[in-house]
Amino acid sequence: MMRPSFLATLRPKIRSTRWSLLLCASLLPFALSSCNSEKETAASRQAAASQLVMGEQMLTLKSASGRVEIDRNPLQVRFFNAQNALVLKQASSPAGPLQPGLVLDQPAGGNLIPDQLLHAPFSFLLGASVSPQLRATPWVGNYITQALVGVQFHGTQVTAAKAIPRGVELTIATNDPTGRVITARIVEDEASSFAVSVSVTPSAGVAFIADSFVLKADESFHGFGGRHNAVNQRGKSLTNFIQAQNVGAGPAAPVADPLSGSGNSFMFPSGEDSAYYISTAFASTGGYGFFLDSTKPSRYNLGAANPNAWQVNTLGAEMTYLVIPGSLPSIVKSLSSIQGRHRVPDPADLGPTLSRAVRVLSAEADTAETYEAKIRDDLKRIDADKLPIKGYVFEGWEILPRETSREIIQTLHKRGIRAYLYIRNYVGIDPANTERQETFVEAITNRYVTTDRLGLPYLFGTPFGGLGAAIDFTNPEAVKWWQGRIREMVLDLSADGFMQDFGEHIALDMHFHDGSTGETMHNHYPTLFHKTTREVLDEVEKKTGRKVFFWTRAGYSGRKGSSAYESANFPGDETSDWSRASGIASLTTDMLSRSATGSYGFNTDIGGYFDYHVGAADAELFTRWSFWAALSPVFRVHNSSSNGVRMPWFYGDQTLAHWRKAADLHLAAAPLIMRLWKEAQETGIPPTRGLWFHYPDDARARSEDQQWMLGPDVIVAPVVTQGAVTRKVYLPKGCWQHVETSREFKGPADVTVPAPLNSLPYFFKCGTKPF
């Protein structure tokens, strides 16, 4: 449901006016604070129970987790933890009379023009916003560019304050010569947080509203969802807008990467920070967590425009954010409890799993007959080689007769293998072979899809070259229809789960049954999509006692965001190459960035998937990817729709033996992964963590993006460089044992260990044996 606007929740009370207040109103602005203190006397007494103290110059709101101090004039808001340490304060750089502002997403993912932002309390941009989107190709719904340009103003002083339940409401003057004012509410909120809600009046012409904060010398920022560009986002500018199918330049990288200004992190078409799965939450090593409570397009500028300050801004004239003072464990617990945590799976869902994708867009595209034959061959090979398979996905189940799909699932179950299917958020007429054409006709005919402004079905070009329409999950009839499709998979056919694909292709000018548009639904849509599915699965699980596992691609945060409903995520269509941008070297950064805030069920496609411009994975890449996945949460092969799936036996007996060794390592670690996953349901601390989590005072640990920790006692350092035979590893303080050689090392130190093709470098904390 759509939330009421912040302005609609304000209910000003008309109060009688005394002679003394009339006198105050006639005084000069510098005397306003003392006048207001008289006005607020009754309110101060009322606020005593909520620990609000109103002084002449400063207001203070206290809670068990810390306090907020608000200076009236000049305006500044500061946050303290329970130990009285300052953790966050507003930046203060007053604007000139015509302070220009510019935010630009450059076409083709460039990063050469910096944002021009005012870093001052509660600032806003009066100007224009332009956001053209693509309507076809694999990048449906992505920005072609976004530009926001205008003049910036900011809050200057508190002119009135009154107590409200759990906090205080402020009226704030601005330096806007037309007289705009800001209303701010600061209250105690969930998960040991303080919520700050601000709005500008009048709102007409306000392109975005922002708040800015002082950047500490050693502060680093971790989270933000499935970003590829960095584990520590300090110095970066991030767009919070779901973007599909962003890939590295492949063969064009030597030219494209330097021209973009992003180096080897460059992704086309939307830039190095673009992501399928976005969180607006992050943990700071400065002693606080931060969560932007908005599904509108928004941004973080984390010292890119100003090395001494960072900013959050969101489209429109209203914004709400939460600040959580505390230690890193408490912050991660709070952020994940707000957004939601991935459900604990059945142990078999961790893998090893094989996925039989449907081959499309090639001369050897699958038909129902060729696809079924491949499934039968897979089953024969699993039996013949006695492979330790726990799960099997056949995406093209919809093109097979229902009796055939049912019989395949029964065959898998007889072997003790979990059976997974495939479903997507849109209906389409295209060669993907994951859906029947009758489904498209049914959805269009019954108006289960989003519409344009005229009420006609909103059609777009699908990534597979056909026509598609997004299912409208705000339409109760569409929800019933969708949930009937889910019941068919898990009840009628007895599937154990499925990939729930896509969710990014929402245009800003789409219209929904509940009256909303794509402006707020583009980011919120995947959450609604996954919630709709979870509702029926909760019903099925309660009735049958089964666990159903589904993994997703698109997602977003919220007060119960996507991670509250999913079992796991896959990182989108990774490219089948070694690249830092979107290949194997992007995986660790992606996994650690999303796991920090509740989305820790990471589920990579071993071998990559998107290979149109880079070619299919060779044996070396496939093997290294298998070992990369061995000590990650889920171990699943799923690669290439254009060049055909590469199963472990495709490359010959030696590669099969390497894959089996990686699978066995995963099975050995699975009890640890399951224990950590169960603990994460209670604590929010993910199974896989950046080194920064346990070593926040270590500058190297804070930025290490090719290693991770599996629990507190294991460091994993996969090989992601083609042709490598050794691995340089950073070990933080303490004693660490290289498991393969039993050598012990004392950190902090850089060490080099052997890394033959059939191995994964990993370390146990000395004296422990986690698995």
Continuous H helices in 306-458: 328-339, 368-384, 402-414, 437-445
Q: Work out whether the CA dihedral 642, 644, 648, 654 comes out positive or negative.
A: negative
pLDDT value at residue 2? 39
219 near 86, Cβ under 8 Å? no
Of the candidates 207, 209, 187, 204, which has an alpha carbon nearest to the alpha carbon of residue 196? Answer: 187
CA dihedral 500, 501, 505, 510 (to 10 degrees): -20
Regions of the chain where pLDDT drops below 50 = 1-49
Residue 545 exposed, middle or buried by CB count within 10 Å (0-12, 13-18, 19+): exposed
| Dihedral pair phi/psi, residue 531, rounded to 5° | -65, -40
pLDDT value at residue 453? 95
pLDDT, tens digit (0-9, with 9 covering 90-100), for 393-402: 999 999 999 9
C-alpha of 318 from chain center: 22
Angle between helices 32-39 and 19-26 (to 10 degrees): 160
Give the chain's radius of gyration (CA, Å): 27
Structure tokens at 193: 């947080």
717 near 761, Cβ under 8 Å? yes
Of the candidates 263, 214, 280, 329, which has an alpha carbon nearest to the alpha carbon of residue 557? Answer: 280
Distance CA(238)–CA(224), nearest Å, equals 9
pLDDT value at residue 7? 37
For the chain, the straight-line distance linking the first and the last C-alpha, in angstroms and rounded, comes to 45
pLDDT value at residue 725? 98
pLDDT value at residue 43? 43
Domains in the chain: ranges and CATH? 7-339 (2.60.40.1760), 692-765 (2.60.40.1180)
55: left (phi over 0), alpha (psi -120 to 50) or beta: beta
pLDDT value at residue 643? 84
pLDDT value at residue 94? 77
Q: Which residues contact 417 (CB under 8 A, 6 or more apart)?
A: 382, 389, 390, 391, 392
User: DSSP secondary structure string, 203-225?
Assistant: -TTEEEEEEEEEPPTT--EEEEE
User: b/e map of 596-631 (b: 16 or more CB within 10 Å)?
Assistant: bbbbbbbbbbbbbbbbbbbebbebbbbbbbbbbbbb
605 near 534, Cβ under 8 Å? no
Maximum Cα–Cα distance across the chain: 94
pLDDT value at residue 641? 67
Distance CA(279)–CA(291), nearest Å, equals 9
The structure tokens 């970003």 sit at 227
Look at strands 497-501 and 549-552 and give their pairing: parallel
Sequence letter at residue 271: G
Structure tokens at 195: 């919520």
Structure tokens at 512: 């929904």
Q: SS3 string of 618-629?
A: CHHHHHHHHHHH
The structure tokens 């007996």 sit at 653
Look at strands 76-81 and 66-71 and give their pairing: antiparallel
